[in-house]
Amino acid sequence: LIIDSIFALFFFMELVFKLISLGWHDFIWGSERSWNVFEALLVGFALLEVVLAILDRQSGSSASSSSNFSLFRIVRLFRITRIARVVKLDIFSELLVMIKGTVGGIRTLCWSTVLISLPLYAVALVLRETVGQIAHSDEASSAASVFKSVPE
């Protein structure tokens, strides 16, 4: 609870400093408004989580009620997306090219798998309907001859 409170306070102070430096208009309507709103929502959820945890602790309720905060724990994972802002720097341009190439390669791999699987499936159906008919006509003797080495 103490560490969560410290981080929530740190993020709140960062948000306040950003608001002061950019001003209300640029914060809400500037070029990075979506990131600013996202960050404000994260800070709001962090503060709400700390307040609810303090109220929960003061009420003296059981440990099972702390599982009600699982939504806030999931929202806490979205903080990782703040790292995506760092990728905008020029030093990461080669990394972005590599990631885009990997994603393009995965897409190509998926389509090649589809193109290989469809004819293979069609051939399997044809063989099942043609050669498979012969195997089913004498199924009992065929099964016995295949499994004759298996002990009973």
pLDDT in tens, 80-103: 666 666 666 777 788 888 888 998
Closest listed residue to residue 5, CA positions, set 60, 43, 35, 39: 43
- Asked if pLDDT for residue 53 goes beyond 60, the answer is yes
* One-letter amino acid for residue 19 of the chain: L
Q: How confident is the model at residue 33 (pLDDT cuts 50, 70, 90)?
A: confident
Q: How confident is the model at residue 144 (pLDDT cuts 50, 70, 90)?
A: low
Q: pTM for the whole thing?
A: 0.44
Cα–Cα distance between 75 and 70 in angstroms, integer? Answer: 9
